[in-house]
C-alpha cells in the first residue's frame, strides 16, 4: 500500500518557499545590483545566515525528502517564471545605467547606484589606465559589473590590412606534412 501524500503540508511548504524566495529577491534588489556583481564577505555571510534561518523554518524534518523536492521544484518554478515573464525580469534585473558619459561622471546615476568616483577609478585601473577620463562611457550592467568603452582605442586592428601585392593571411595555416 502506498503512503498517502500530505497535500496540506506540501501546500504549506510551497507557501513558505514562495514567501522566502520573494523576500530574498526584493531584499537583494533593495541592496542594489552591485550586491549581485561582486559579492563581498558581508553579502555572503548575510545570504548564508538567512538561508540557515529561513531553511529551518520552511521544511520540517517530518516532511522528509518529499518536502525537500517540493521546495526545490517551487524554486525552479520561480526561476523559470522570472526568465519567461519580461515584466518580472525587467523589474528584478533593471536596465544598464550609464555612470560616465564623454569622460564626465553622471553624479545622479552614481548616487542612485550607491557608487562613487572611486569606483570609476577602479574600473580605469582594471583596464590598465590611470584615469577614467580615457573612457567615452562606463556602464553599470544588469549583473552588477562595470564595463567601459574607450574614447579612442589604442588597440590595433586584429586582422592585418591586406596590401595590394600580398594576400592577407587569416586564421591558422595548414600543417606541413
Q: Is residue 124 part of a domain?
A: yes
Residue 124 sits in the same domain as residue 80: no
Residue 141's domain comprises 97-150
62 & 132 share domain? no
Secondary structure element (H or E) that encloses residue 100, with its range: strand 97-101
pTM above 0.85, yes or no: no
How does pLDDT run along the chain (177 residues), one tens digit per residue? 557 888 888 898 899 888 888 888 888 778 776 655 566 666 666 777 777 766 766 777 777 788 878 888 888 898 889 889 999 888 888 889 999 998 899 999 999 888 999 999 998 998 899 999 999 999 998 878 888 898 876 555 444 444 444 444 444 444 554
Domain count, the chain: 2
Same domain for 104 and 78: no
* Inter-CA distances, 51 with 10, 18, 56, 73, 108, Å: 20, 14, 8, 17, 34
Are 31 and 68 in the same domain? yes
Amino acid at each position: 500500500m502506498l503512503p498517502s501524500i500530505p497535500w496540506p503540508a506540501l501546500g504549506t511548504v510551497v507557501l513558505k518557499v514562495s514567501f522566502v524566495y520573494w523576500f530574498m529577491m526584493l531584499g537583494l534588489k533593495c541592496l542594489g545590483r552591485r550586491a549581485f556583481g561582486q559579492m563581498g564577505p558581508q553579502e555572503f555571510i548575510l545570504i548564508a545566515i538567512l538561508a540557515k534561518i529561513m531553511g529551518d523554518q520552511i521544511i520540517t524534518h517530518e516532511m522528509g525528502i518529499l518536502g525537500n523536492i517540493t521546495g526545490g521544484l517551487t524554486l525552479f518554478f520561480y526561476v523559470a517564471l522570472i526568465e519567461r515573464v519580461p515584466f518580472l525580469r525587467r523589474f528584478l534585473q533593471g536596465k544598464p545605467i550609464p555612470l560616465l558619459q564623454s569622460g564626465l561622471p553622471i553624479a545622479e546615476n552614481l548616487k542612485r547606484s550607491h557608487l562613487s568616483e572611486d569606483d570609476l577609478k577602479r574600473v580605469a585601473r582594471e583596464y590598465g589606465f590611470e584615469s577614467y577620463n580615457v573612457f567615452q562611457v562606463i556602464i553599470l550592467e544588469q549583473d552588477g559589473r562595470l564595463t567601459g568603452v574607450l574614447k579612442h582605442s589604442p588597440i590595433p586592428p586584429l586582422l592585418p590590412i591586406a596590401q595590394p601585392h600580398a594576400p592577407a593571411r587569416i586564421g591558422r595555416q595548414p600543417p606541413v606534412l
